[in-house]
Amino acid sequence: MQEIAQNTNEFVKLFAAHRQWVCHSNKVPLNPRTGFNASVTNPDDWSDHAQAVSSAAANDGVGIGFVLTASAGLVCIDLDTHKTTDPNVIALHEEIQRQFSNTYSERSPNGGSHFWMKGSIARSIRSSQDHIEIYNQDRYITFTGNAINNVPVQDCNGTLTALWERLNAGQSKANVPTLFGSQPQTGSDQEICNKAANASNGELFKTLWNGNWQGKYPSQSEADQAFCNIVAFYTDNAEQVVHIFRASALGQRPKAQRNDYVGNMVRKAFDQRLPLPFNPSTLIVPKAQVQNIPLLPIANDIEVVSLSGIVAEAIEWLWDGYLPKGKLTLLAGAGGTGKSTLAFSIAAIVSSGGMWPDGRRCNRPGNVLIWSSEDDPADTIVPRLLAMGADVSKIHLVKTTVGADGQRLPFNPARDIPLLKQKIVANGGIGLFIVDPITSAVAGDMHKANEVRQGLQAVVDLASECNCAVIGITHFAKGTTGRNPAERVIGSVAFGAFARVVLVAAKDEETERRVFVKAKSNISNDTGGFYYAIQARPLNNNITATCIDWGGAIEGSSREILATVEHQDGKDENRSQVDEAKTFLVEELKNGPRYARELIERAHSELGISEKTLQRARRQLTIQTINEGANKGWKWSFVAVGFSNGSIQ
């Protein structure tokens, strides 16, 4: 993307620090911090300008945008002059350009122009016949920095109001289906659904069509809204959106027959462009009369099989006792233990048919696939693999997804695993897949068990269908020293529960002695491991890379081994849960207020701390509670105290 200089662009000067920036790709807003889809009504999905620019610069085909909110008092006029040859429309655009020449304006990505100003309008408006749109809230506007008038944003409320009233009156008199009415239908329900199903986010559409929203959205209502948003992208006919929604699995519950619920939802899908209220009362039809869209039929039966028809099979191992094929294995540890380097060492052994740390040869050498969002291929991944004797011709890196139009998007494990399976099969299969970090496979909240299970299921399916071992790299949660190592994995306990094997890495901070041990195995013994060291090895061209030097075997349970390495003296284990809860709250709140429900869920999933204990710790720390409103809930904050080096003052 084009780099936008913060010290010269007048818009950026004013709003760089405002946390209203998002990234975007193919018109879809993205969270600059996570790369996942962003909501234009959820500030948690936004960032400041610097973060958005950094994320966009690191990914091909990604731009940045600014979210309009009701409280900001900003309005943007979008002129698509390049889309018309009508002299009257062109004259109107030239008049608007003169009227707003005193405020910041820039070229839009498609060749139009955006005029930014301070002001207030009743609601957003679009005049299709005049190729003019005016937006004031609940929408992001693409931002290029390609200024037409690089001047500060001005208050243009008088001129703005006159233009808005002019467009609104013109639409009413013409009685045409523009902003305030549903457009004529341009395709059948089947055609619209096929377009949605074959798009880049088609897997999401098909998942929601089948009613499988759990793990992707906090509630079915939010899933309903997302489904309607997708359909509304392909049709401007509001009645058709309602019809398709009520034909889907999501639309079968009683709530979907309520006109107020569906009407408000479809209005939001059309950016509030429909009359208020939009009442789809004419669309309540008997279920038998709802058009059957033969895309993904709704399940109406359950298959049950007898175990007598299932042939028992032995577990197939890539590395006996440590890496099962067709299963998910976690590799967890604290920062600085060399988890990625350990995974690359295993990749080198698999690619070259080398020797495992236990002295046995890898008798199933094969291709290795790596997806890493944390290490650079040129200066980190390739040098480390070469230093450990890998056959790099058999190791491949997942880079981007490519659309039918050639558009490149960042690979998103939470979205693109099904597509990756096709690529693996087409290229002859793999023996090992490394996902770093495994948390990236979860589209939702990694602290919620149902959302974690939903995300990891796609990874497990890939392992099973491609008959490969999968290593998911992750971290230990803070404040978990002394607990069962398999339960120290960050996020929901579902991460450790879903994996068949959990391997952990730890180091002695005093001696640099490191251990690699089994913390859990549902399919073999779960004790023992190996010592290892991280060495620097010189390569050609003045390159030095780190590599793993495997040591001798270790006997014992992972808890015993880590207790020795981490010098646990029993204090952590014997601390009261209230003290542990206090430590958790200090760490979580030192950077500002957090939602209480999120803290309660994380404390329970990561540390086993009950809500009652956390509330007691909150009172002892004199943490203030802040009511954000009925729809948002309560926040906790150290408003009355300060912090110094992470401690309470």
Indicate whether 294 belongs to any domain.
no
- Tell me what the mean pLDDT of segment 538-565 comes to: 88
- Tell me what the mean pLDDT of segment 169-179 comes to: 40
Query: Which amino acid type is present at position 488?
Result: R
Query: In whole angstroms, what is the distance from residue 30 CA to residue 533 CA?
Result: 40
Q: Cβ contacts of residue 457 below 8 Å, gap of 6+?
A: none
Helix (H) or strand (E) holding 90: helix 87-99
Q: Are residues 112 and 205 in the same domain?
A: no
What pLDDT score does 570 carry?
Answer: 44
Separation of CA 69 from chain center: 22
| pLDDT exceeds 60 at position 97 | yes
Determine contact, residues 582/547, Cβ cutoff 8 Å: no
Q: pLDDT band at residue 271, thresholds of 50, 70 and 90?
A: low
Helices (H), 212-359: 220-234, 238-247, 259-269, 339-352
Query: In whole angstroms, what is the distance from residue 320 CA to residue 364 CA?
Result: 11
Q: Given the structure tokens 């430590």, which residue do they identify?
A: 583
Q: Are residues 168 and 271 in the same domain?
A: no
Tell me the pLDDT tens digit for each residue of 343-380.
Answer: 999 999 999 999 999 999 998 899 999 988 778 888 89
| pLDDT exceeds 50 at position 174 | no
Q: Are residues 139 and 283 in the same domain?
A: no
Tell me the pLDDT tens digit for each residue of 450-466.
Answer: 778 877 888 888 899 89
Determine contact, residues 431/350, Cβ cutoff 8 Å: yes
Number of domains in the chain: 4
Cβ count near 447 (within 10 Å) = 21
What pLDDT score does 619 carry?
Answer: 81
Indicate whether 558 belongs to any domain.
yes
Question: CB-side exposure of 318: number of CA atoms within 13 Å?
Answer: 30
Cβ count near 510 (within 10 Å) = 8
Q: Are residues 229 and 355 in the same domain?
A: no
Sheet with 105-107, strands from edge to edge, namely: 125-127, 132-135, 74-79, 113-118, 105-107, 147-149
| pLDDT exceeds 50 at position 151 | yes
Q: Given the structure tokens 């037409």, which residue do they identify?
A: 148
Main-chain phi, psi angles of 116, to 5 degrees: -105, 140
The answer for 55, left when phi > 0, alpha when psi is -120 to 50, beta otherwise, is alpha
Cis peptide before 437 (omega within 30 of 0): yes
Q: Are residues 206 and 168 in the same domain?
A: no
Q: Are residues 97 and 195 in the same domain?
A: no
- Tell me what the mean pLDDT of segment 208-232 comes to: 84
Indicate whether 317 belongs to any domain.
no
Round the CA-based radius of gyration of the chain to a whole number and report it: 28
Chain mean pLDDT for the chain: 82
Q: Are residues 455 and 556 in the same domain?
A: yes
Q: Are residues 468 and 531 in the same domain?
A: yes
Domain boundary among 570, 600, 627: 570
Question: CB-side exposure of 226: number of CA atoms within 13 Å?
Answer: 25
Strand-pairing partners, residue 331, are: 473, 503
Residue burial 305-321, b: 16+ Cβ < 10 Å; e: rest: eeeeeeeeeeeebbbeb
Burial class for 242, CB neighbours closer than 10 Å (0-12, 13-18, 19+): buried
What pLDDT score does 631 carry?
Answer: 56
Q: Are residues 633 and 594 in the same domain?
A: yes
Q: CA triplet 457, 459, 461: central angle to 5 degrees?
A: 70
Strand-pairing partners, residue 442, are: none
Determine contact, residues 123/136, Cβ cutoff 8 Å: yes
Four-residue CA torsion sign, 546, 551, 553, 558: negative
What pLDDT score does 403 carry?
Answer: 67
Cβ count near 166 (within 10 Å) = 14
| pLDDT exceeds 80 at position 228 | yes
Q: Are residues 461 and 511 in the same domain?
A: yes
Task: Say which residue, 536 or 632, is predicted with more confidence.
Answer: 536
Residue 409 in tokens:
């998007």
| pLDDT exceeds 60 at position 484 | yes
Query: In whole angstroms, what is the distance from residue 103 CA to residue 116 CA?
Result: 7
DSSP state of 8: T
Helix (H, G, I), strand (E, B) or coil at 644: strand
Indicate whether 516 belongs to any domain.
yes
Indicate whether 225 belongs to any domain.
yes
Query: In whole angstroms, what is the distance from residue 511 CA to residue 402 CA?
Result: 47
Domain of residue 72, CATH code: 3.30.2250
Strand-pairing partners, residue 333, are: 475, 505
What range does the domain containing 248 cover?
A: 189-289
Strand-pairing partners, residue 317, are: 324
Indicate whether 125 belongs to any domain.
yes
